């Protein structure tokens, strides 16, 4: 068990360091790459290993400093928490919902001009295709028309028509296309 803790504890930081190195090499050659960082597991296992080996107290800090996955997570945690808060139910102003055939969409609008679009498909067993997809972005409103701009640059316009908002989708025809959809406002 003692050797397992050492090997498993070193494996996760090693994966993080290798993926950082490979991501750096890919970036230098003009390619894109996403790293695999597994925080906390390696330092916890190494901490247990150090306790069982009666190591000096100052050595317990070393696995936490040496694990780049944990350090990256801690650095990005405030930004991640901020992004989650921006589109949480606590900041939601209202939602628009609609459906078309086996597809449904919910767009939630939040304080500070953020929105989240979630589209779902209801498929029969064995039918292939997406089940759900999401899109974050920002919105603004002028003269009753709501303009949506996704973080990828896609533009949509929601024009009021009676109790509904009708969507004009300036994006390409893909799974997020909502051209002509009628969306109704809900408060929940």
pLDDT given for residue 188 in this prediction? 61
pLDDT of 166 over the 80 cut: yes
pLDDT tier for residue 87 given thresholds of 50, 70 and 90: confident
Enumerate domains of the chain plus CATH numbers: 2-86 (no CATH), 92-186 (2.40.128.300)
Provide mean pLDDT across the span 106-119.
94
How many Å apart are CA 103 and CA 106, to the nearest integer? Answer: 11
Q: Nearest-CA neighbor of 138 among 153, 118, 119, 159?
A: 153
In terms of phi and psi (left: phi > 0; alpha: psi -120 to 50; beta: otherwise), the region of 138 is beta
pLDDT of 20 over the 80 cut: yes
pLDDT of 58 over the 80 cut: yes
């Amino acid at each position: 068990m003692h050797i397992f803790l050492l090997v498993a504890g070193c494996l996760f930081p090693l994966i993080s360091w290798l993926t950082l190195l490979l991501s750096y090499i890919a970036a230098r050659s003009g390619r894109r790459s996403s790293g695999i960082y597994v925080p906390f597991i390696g330092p916890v296992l190494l901490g247990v290993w150090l306790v069982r080996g009666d190591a000096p107290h100052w050595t317990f800090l070393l696995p936490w400093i040496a694990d780049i996955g944990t350090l990256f997570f801690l650095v990005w945690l405030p930004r991640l928490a901020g992004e989650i808060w921006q589109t949480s139910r606590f900041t939601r102003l209202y939602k628009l919902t609609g459906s078309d055939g086996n597809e449904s969409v919910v767009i939630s609008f939040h304080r500070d001009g953020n929105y989240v679009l979630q589209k779902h498909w209801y498929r029969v067993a064995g039918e292939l295709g997406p089940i759900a997809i999401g899109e974050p972005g920002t919105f603004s409103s002028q003269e009753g028309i709501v303009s949506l701009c996704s973080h990828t640059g896609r533009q949509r316009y929601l024009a009021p028509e009676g109790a509904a908002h009708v969507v004009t989708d300036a994006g390409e025809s893909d799974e997020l296309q909502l051209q002509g959809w009628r969306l109704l406002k809900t408060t929940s």
